[in-house]
């Protein structure tokens, strides 16, 4: 666990279960609505979760990098219908077509830079979150989803060969429950894995 991740886990005293109980969808099933979370509590929990998911996806993708190459994956895709082009709005303003390993390298570097930016994602008590915090956090999660989608569509055979499918499925299940509970990714962005999402979430209903 990184130093920042450790600090965030110490800072966020609210449990995931408590956070879920405050969401509209859960509250509607349990009678009177619970006390709403403060904005700062939610932001710190969201940030801590983003750090965890980033670390998980980084490790999962790291296990299949030998199979995800410039030759095997000349474009960043999630099946034949979905192709992703990279732009970060700063260094690369106009979306560019690139290989999957290049795209994911850009993506992971960009996410790390965002998470390390104390002005955007503060880990210290008393430092306010910037107004664009939620927008950036949603973009991080949307882009991390694309790595899951690429792995499932293009490299699941390799994941099974490495006997890593249980880890991948567990990580993605936690990710999808989290982003759906708080509407953090638009439904259309989840389309590449919609069938899998329905299977994973239906089992727990």
Q: What are the pLDDT tens digits along the chain (205 aa)?
A: 444 444 444 433 333 344 344 443 443 333 444 445 567 788 888 989 999 999 999 999 999 999 999 999 999 999 999 999 999 999 999 999 999 999 999 999 999 999 999 988 887 777 888 889 999 999 999 999 999 999 999 999 999 999 999 999 999 999 999 999 999 999 999 999 999 999 988 866 5
CA angle, 46 as apex, 68 and 60 as ends, to 5°?
20
Give the separation between CA 142 and CA 135, rounded to whole angstroms: 11
In this structure, the number of other CB atoms found within 10 A of the CB of residue 191 comes to 15
- The burial class, CB within 10 Å (0-12 / 13-18 / 19+), for 110 is buried
């Amino acid at each position: 666990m990184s130093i920042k991740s450790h600090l965030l886990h110490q800072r966020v005293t609210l449990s995931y279960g408590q956070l879920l109980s405050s969401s509209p969808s859960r509250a509607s099933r349990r009678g009177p609505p619970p006390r709403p979370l403060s904005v700062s509590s939610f932001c710190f929990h969201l940030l801590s979760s983003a750090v965890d998911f980033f670390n998980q996806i980084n490790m999962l993708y790291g296990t299949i990098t030998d199979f995800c190459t410039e030759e095997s994956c000349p474009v960043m895709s999630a099946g034949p219908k979905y192709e992703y082009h990279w732009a970060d709005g700063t260094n690369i303003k106009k979306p560019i077509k690139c290989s999957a390993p290049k795209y994911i390298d850009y993506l992971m570097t960009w996410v790390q830079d965002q998470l390390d930016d104390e002005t955007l994602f503060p880990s210290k008590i008393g430092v306010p979150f910037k107004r664009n915090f939620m927008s950036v956090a949603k973009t991080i999660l949307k882009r991390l989803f694309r790595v899951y989608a690429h792995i499932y569509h293009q490299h699941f055979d390799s994941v099974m060969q490495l006997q890593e499918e249980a880890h991948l499925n567990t990580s993605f299940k936690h990710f999808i429950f989290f982003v759906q509970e708080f509407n953090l990714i638009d439904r259309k962005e989840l389309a590449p894995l919609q069938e899998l999402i329905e299977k994973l979430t239906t089992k727990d209903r």
